[in-house]
């Protein structure tokens, strides 16, 4: 069943705006019941964690902490990636 944001009950998403960029921090439940973390930039490029988390909120908190620590630019300007415009 989809929730109000278009995500299912097995997904949690938070939007973060920082330094003129909007990033989506997304936690998705795996078939084993753990949670994966991804940060999606405005161009559709996703940074994915290899580490799994016991809760959706812990995954989201980790993503937000990474944005605060590394800065939004680290997730927007992906070096070596050729964007299609």
Q: What is the DSSP string of 23-35?
A: EEEEEEE-TTS-E
Q: Write the CB contacts of 64 (distance below 8 Å, at least 6 apart in sequence).
A: 14, 16, 25
pLDDT score, position 6? 46
Kindly report, residue by residue over 32-45, the tens digit of the pLDDT.
Answer: 999 999 999 988 88
Kindly report, residue by residue over 5-62, the tens digit of the pLDDT.
Answer: 444 568 899 999 988 889 999 999 998 999 999 999 988 888 999 999 999 999 999 9
Instruction: Using the Cα atoms of residue 26, residue 18, residue 73 and residue 45 in order, give the sign of their dihedral.
Output: positive
What's phi and psi for 68, nearest 5 deg? -65, -40
Give the number of other CB atoms < 10 A from CB of residue 37. 23
pTM of the prediction?
A: 0.80
């Amino acid at each position: 069943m989809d929730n109000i944001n278009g995500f299912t009950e097995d997904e949690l998403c938070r939007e973060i705006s920082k330094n003129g960029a909007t990033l989506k921090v997304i936690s998705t439940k795996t078939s084993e019941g753990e949670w994966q973390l991804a940060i999606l930039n405005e161009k559709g490029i996703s940074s994915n964690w290899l580490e799994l988390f016991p809760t959706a909120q812990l995954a989201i908190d980790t993503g937000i902490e990474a944005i605060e620590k590394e800065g939004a630019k680290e997730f927007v300007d992906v070096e070596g990636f050729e964007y299609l415009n």
